[in-house]
Amino acid sequence: MNLQKVNRREFLKATGMTAGGLVMGVTVPMSLHAEEGETGFHPKVFIQIAENGDTTLYCGRAEMGQGISTALPAAVADELEADWSRVTVLQGDGDKKYGSQATGGSRSINEFFIPMRTAGAAMREMLIKAASQSWGIPESDCYAELHFVHNKKNKKKLSYGELSSVAAKLPVPTKPALKSKDQFRYIGKPLTRHDQDEVVVGKRTYGIDTKIPGLKYAAITHVPVYGGKLKSVDKTGALKMKGVVDVVEVERIKSPFSSLGGVAVVADNTWTAQQALKKLKIEWDLGEHKGYDSKTYLQDLIKNVESPAEKIFSRGDVDKGLEEAATRHSASYTGGHLSHSPMEPMASLAWVQDDSCEIWASTQNPQQIQQVIAIFLGRKEEDIVVHVTAAGGAFGRKGKCDYVHEAAAISKAVGVPVQLTWSREEDMRTGYYHSINAQHLEAGLDKDGNISAWLQRAAFPSIGSTFNPSLDRANERDFTRPIAHPYGIANYKLESGHAPAHTRIGWYRAVYDIFYGFATNVFTDELAQKAGIDTLTFLRNIYDNNKDPVLAKSASRCRGVLDLAAKKGSWGKKMPKNHGLGIAVHYSYNSYLAMLVHVETKGDDIKVHRVDCAVDCGLVLNPDIATAQMEGAVVMGLSLSLREDVTFRDGAVVNSNYHDYPVLRHNEMPEVHVHFVDNDESPTGLGEPGVPTFAPAFINAIYAASGKRYRSIPIKPMSV
Amino acid sequence: MSKKININGKDVSVDVDENMPLLWFLRDELELTGTKYGCGIAACGACAVHLDGAAIRACVTPVSSVIGKKITTIEGLSEDGSHPLQKAWLANNVPQCGYCQAGQIMGAADFLSKNPKPKEEDIDNVMSAHICRCGTYKRIKKAILEAAADMQEA
């Protein structure tokens, strides 16, 4: 990392704010954030202590409910010995100055924790030095506490505000001393989030809420099939409506994050625009994917994994291992497309003028907006101003800015600022979906019931296909997780089956780990039954047998969460009839998760009574936010296990709204208990890792309760 | 005489197509954006507001049907965010992204006014009309129970 003072001119340029007091810019290691062609000092975060003591962080990462705008400043404030009530966080606009702002992959905590603490500690030391000079005493006679530097000898104190300008003239310490764990004031404590007060009074402004003078409102309808385009549109009826400004055709541009193509109506308000859309007479050229039928396609995927496919990775000799095994077992598993369906549908405000372009959007990636709009307008990226608003849920969907491109295209066409709001139906039918998937697993067990060979074939349309449509199967990169799987089985082979994409595929909270975690953990439960060994013992044996030194730590942390979940959820206890416990463990995004699920079944009626989540994410920065992330992961996991299923017919999505894409509601919320492993490992992210363990633990619990083995999720798809 | 709706204690003139749902009148015409659009078909509860104290879905309520009536939105639930539910929401750190929470609070406020001593099962049933995609259900239930207890004491 790099830590430097920022001068008045640089700070104004970067934040649009006037510098005063002490301002520090922080970068993160280049190895983690090698921006192409990036040289020199480019701070990702700015920290300012103003002359009145107000302390502000300018942070480029997007807040979408996961609490990042609380967790990172807490790390700074702790080392700085700041008074938490004096610290505010401002969300940075989209700008290369922050480095990559792509928020996803649960990376923010991993990358920023130590740099943030170091910055806080350096500033603390500078403030102490400023005070010691002012008093003419050694630094060792001073200490910092809650926004003041105190004089040990005479109990005098100077505030951070008073000291800030003097401190700004001092050199930045190169190796400031960080606190030890027992000295933490905020890290690991349930701090209040910064952004909650506004929420409960309806004052928090999301992308959909932005208003500026002269604003018009737009609604859009998209080409129903990926790769299709507009053939003709009769605008007459829409243009006749009172309050309609114009009808605008939006075309695809050469970017995977551009509009899918559609027709928009601009009007005095959203409702009029939505009504006028219905008056358009549109003919589409549906293109090459008009025959896509997801149910048939899934059957194809199953066939493709139940016969040899393209080798991705191999260790030892799987064929020989399977042949020599005392017992063999195989099974196939499937999952459908999923829609992110955040509560705030895609929405963005754009104002394109001849000499400027300003965007307001809830987004996980403001710089991508700059890139896409720059391509669209033929302008420079730095001339596209992107204001990042709060996101009303995202889950990966708002990392793709097709809706922002559309807002800009519409604004450019009509010459006024335009707020584009997608209807829920458009949101559901114009997604970047989680991959539909099939996997086939085969394993051999030795006479003691240990796994001696493991073959895993997966077929799913790759996210890479959204960038390179000729990609017709998942590649090595898509198999990153199983390649480094902590089981470390000696004879191990991964194969990728044919799976061309017929829709846009995108990142969905936990991405491929949803189905990798699912198949692996259900299969091991089946193997345990086959071997006549208790599942927990069977899993423990796998980790204990893993002699690969590279995987030793990963295996031991997996074993740790497994044991914690088993203990907290009382694995092995006698269950009443029709009740069962299921367990699963998964390592993803540098964090370790195990879940133990207790279900009761009455025929097809399944009730989840209790979930115990064991989490090893290293040092827990904020246990309350971390717990909330796990509660949310259980809800999403149960929701996608039960009913979530995007169905395509004739190339188009059949589902339309929450009535035919049912997501989990209050009445099915189980009791959730979250337990953290106490260790000194560095902190890792939790936005995604909770999701993959739920489905398999749930499915294994249903088996324990009823003897019924589900191998496809969702288990109760709605017929649409 | 122009047609009026009383919104959060103020009379507001209606000069739009009266078929317009109250949701868009609030959001686009009055710029009261606390009431959220989620589904447009009364399936998610994000747009819940009170009509003479009872929760309705603003997305399917034409402006014509509420003329002369009293509407309360999240912005008018309390003067200063001091409704017991708002306080309980903060005390339990309920929101994650926060988008659905105005609707959740409005729904819960109506429910508590009719059921001052709610059973957990009743909360589950009534609040199932509201979707939270972040999954804050557990905390919502706890906050409602705490607010109910708070209102009993008051």
Could you report the per-residue pLDDT of A232-285, keeping only the tens digit for each?
999 999 999 999 999 999 999 989 999 999 999 999 999 999 999 999 999 999
Q: Has residue A163 got a pLDDT over 90?
A: yes
ipTM summary value? 0.97
What sign does the CA torsion over A659, A660, A663, A668 have?
A: positive
Let me know whether B14 and B32 are in one domain: yes
Let me know whether B69 and B42 are in one domain: yes
Q: Has residue B36 got a pLDDT over 70?
A: yes
CB-CB: which of B16, B90, B99 is closest to A393? B99
- Cβ within 8 Å, pair B33-A192: no
pLDDT recorded at residue A36: 39
| Burial category of A547 from C-beta neighbours within 10 Å (exposed 0-12, middle 13-18, buried 19 and up) | exposed
How many helices (H) does chain B have, and how many strands (E)? 5, 5
- Cβ within 8 Å, pair A663-B133: yes
B28 and chain A: CB distance < 8 Å anywhere? yes
pLDDT recorded at residue A37: 42
Whether the Cβ atoms of residue A607 and residue A600 lie closer than 8 Å to each other: yes
Return the DSSP state at B21.
B
Q: Has residue A635 got a pLDDT over 50?
A: yes
> Please, which residues bridge with residue A224 across strands?
none
- Whole-angstrom distance, CA of residue A594 vs CA of residue A563: 9
B75 and chain A: CB distance < 8 Å anywhere? yes
Let me know whether B93 and B110 are in one domain: yes
Residue of A nearest to B46 (CA): A343
B60 and chain A: CB distance < 8 Å anywhere? no
Give Cα A214 distance to the centre of its chain. Answer: 35
- Cβ within 8 Å, pair B81-A201: yes
Please list, in sequence order, all residues whose beta carbon lies within 8 angstroms of the beta carbon of residue A438, skipping any fewer than 6 positions away: A298, A301, A302, A304, A305, A332, A333, A334, A458, A459, A460, A497
Let me know whether B48 and B91 are in one domain: no
pLDDT recorded at residue B78: 97
B118 and chain A: CB distance < 8 Å anywhere? no
Q: Which of A201, A346, A622 to mutate to test the interface with B (most CBs of B within 10 A)?
A: A201
Chain B residues within 8 A of A67 when measuring between CB atoms: 96
| Res. A33 pLDDT band, cuts 50 70 90 | very low
Of A62 and A623, the structure prediction assigns the larger pLDDT to A623
The mean-pLDDT minimum among A92-96, A264-268, A376-380 falls in: A92-96
A241 and chain B: CB distance < 8 Å anywhere? no
Let me know whether B101 and B41 are in one domain: no
Mean pLDDT of A551-580: 97
**What's the angle, vertex CA A577, arms to CA A571 and CA A583, rounded to 5?**
30
pLDDT recorded at residue A105: 61
Alpha carbon of B1: minimum distance to chain A alpha carbons (Å): 23
Closest residue by Cα to residue A70 from B103, B133, B95, B105: B95
Residue ranges of alpha helices (H) inside A22-107 are 68-80
| Res. A378 pLDDT band, cuts 50 70 90 | very high
Letter for the amino acid at A160? Y
pLDDT recorded at residue A470: 95
Let me know whether B72 and B89 are in one domain: no
CATH annotation of A207-288+346-421: 3.30.365.10
How many helices (H) does chain A have, and how many strands (E)? 19, 29
| Res. A714 pLDDT band, cuts 50 70 90 | very high
Let me know whether B14 and B42 are in one domain: yes
pLDDT tens-digit map of A643-681: 999 999 999 999 999 999 999 999 999 999 999 999 889
Alpha carbon of A632: minimum distance to chain B alpha carbons (Å): 4
pLDDT recorded at residue A30: 38
CB-CB: which of A196, A424, A667 is closest to B40? A424
Residue of A nearest to B26 (CA): A269
- Collapsing DSSP to helix, strand or coil, A453 comes out as strand
Let me know whether B66 and B47 are in one domain: yes
What token pair was written down for A266? 């601009």
Alpha carbon of A65: minimum distance to chain B alpha carbons (Å): 4
Let me know whether B99 and B148 are in one domain: yes
B45 and chain A: CB distance < 8 Å anywhere? no
Q: Which of B33, B57, B76 is the last residue of a domain?
A: B76
Of A625 and A529, the structure prediction assigns the larger pLDDT to A529
Q: Where are the beta strands (DSSP E) in A568-604?
A: 579-588, 591-602
Q: In which element (H, E) is residue B47 found?
A: none
Which residues between 605 and 664 in chain A have a beta carbon less than 8 angstroms from any beta carbon of chain B?
624-625, 628, 631-636, 657-659, 663-664
Chain B residues within 8 A of A391 when measuring between CB atoms: 97
CATH topology of domain A2-192: Aldehyde Oxidoreductase; domain 4 (3.30.365)
Q: Which of A70, A192, A197, A200 to mutate to test the interface with B (most CBs of B within 10 A)?
A: A200
Closest residue by Cα to residue A226 from A264, A248, A258, A249: A258
Which residues of chain A are in CATH 3.30.365.10 domains?
Answer: 2-192, 207-288+346-421, 294-338+433-713
pLDDT recorded at residue A449: 95
Cis omega (within 30 of 0) for bond into A662: no
What sign does the CA torsion over A369, A374, A380, A383 have?
A: negative
CB-CB: which of A211, A270, A424 is closest to B24? A270
Please list, in sequence order, all residues whose beta carbon lies within 8 angstroms of the beta carbon of residue A550, skipping any fewer than 6 positions away: none
Chain B residues within 8 A of A390 when measuring between CB atoms: 97-98
Of A15 and A710, the structure prediction assigns the larger pLDDT to A710
Mean pLDDT of A604-626: 94
Mean pLDDT of B114-124: 96
DSSP for B93-153, written as a single string: T--SS-TTHHHHHHHHHHHHHH-SS--HHHHHHHHTTS--SS--HHHHHHHHHHHHHHHHH
Chain A residues within 8 A of B97 when measuring between CB atoms: 64-65, 342-344, 390-394
pLDDT recorded at residue B1: 56
The mean-pLDDT minimum among A82-96, A98-112, A163-177 falls in: A98-112
Chain A residues within 8 A of B24 when measuring between CB atoms: 269-271
**What's the angle, vertex CA A696, arms to CA A691 and CA A701, rounded to 5?**
125
The chain-wide mean pLDDT, for chain A, equals 92
- Cβ within 8 Å, pair B96-A632: yes
Chain A residues within 8 A of B73 when measuring between CB atoms: 202
Which residues between 254 and 293 in chain A have a beta carbon less than 8 angstroms from any beta carbon of chain B?
268-272
Letter for the amino acid at A504? R
Alpha carbon of B17: minimum distance to chain A alpha carbons (Å): 9
pLDDT tens-digit map of A129-138: 999 999 999 9
Q: Is domain A294-338+433-713 given the CATH code 3.30.460.10 in the classification?
A: no
| Burial category of A588 from C-beta neighbours within 10 Å (exposed 0-12, middle 13-18, buried 19 and up) | buried
CB-CB: which of A211, A393, A672 is closest to B134? A393
pLDDT recorded at residue A31: 36
Q: Tokens 């290691």 map to which residue?
A: A29
pLDDT tens-digit map of A36-90: 344 456 666 788 999 999 998 887 666 666 666 777 788 899 999 999 889 888 7
Let me know whether B29 and B90 are in one domain: no
pLDDT recorded at residue A38: 42
Dihedrals phi, psi of A76, to nearest 5 degrees: -65, -50
Domain CATH code at residue B47: 3.10.20.30
Q: Which of B28, B56, B76 is the last residue of a domain?
A: B76
Alpha carbon of A242: minimum distance to chain B alpha carbons (Å): 9
- Collapsing DSSP to helix, strand or coil, A58 comes out as strand
What token pair was written down for A427? 């949101």
Alpha carbon of A29: minimum distance to chain B alpha carbons (Å): 29
> Please, which residues bridge with residue A313 across strands?
A494
- Cβ within 8 Å, pair B98-A392: yes
B134 and chain A: CB distance < 8 Å anywhere? yes
Which residues between 363 and 422 in chain A have a beta carbon less than 8 angstroms from any beta carbon of chain B?
390-395, 421
Q: Which of B76, B92, B111 is the last residue of a domain?
A: B76
pLDDT recorded at residue A35: 39
- Whole-angstrom distance, CA of residue A601 vs CA of residue A591: 31
Please list, in sequence order, all residues whose beta carbon lies within 8 angstroms of the beta carbon of residue B120, skipping any fewer than 6 positions away: B141, B145
Count of structural domains, chain B: 2
Structural domain for B127, as ranges: 84-153
Alpha carbon of A664: minimum distance to chain B alpha carbons (Å): 8
pLDDT recorded at residue A58: 81
pLDDT tens-digit map of A542-556: 999 998 999 999 999
pLDDT recorded at residue A68: 66
Let me know whether B61 and B91 are in one domain: no
Whether the Cβ atoms of residue A103 and residue A507 lie closer than 8 Å to each other: no
Angle between helix B101-114 and B120-127 (nearest 10): 130
pLDDT recorded at residue A17: 66
Please list, in sequence order, all residues whose beta carbon lies within 8 angstroms of the beta carbon of residue A290, skipping any fewer than 6 positions away: A225, A228, A650, A651
- Cβ within 8 Å, pair B17-A193: no
Dihedrals phi, psi of A305, to nearest 5 degrees: -100, -10
- Cβ within 8 Å, pair B130-A666: yes
A343 and chain B: CB distance < 8 Å anywhere? yes
Please count the other Cβ atoms lying within 10 Å of the Cβ belonging to residue A678.
10
Alpha carbon of B154: minimum distance to chain A alpha carbons (Å): 21
CB-CB: which of A202, A625, A659 is closest to B102? A202
Mean pLDDT of A191-220: 92
pLDDT recorded at residue A32: 38
Residue of A nearest to B141 (CA): A666
Domain CATH code at residue B117: 1.10.150.120
Closest residue by Cα to residue A70 from A185, A180, A186, A184: A186
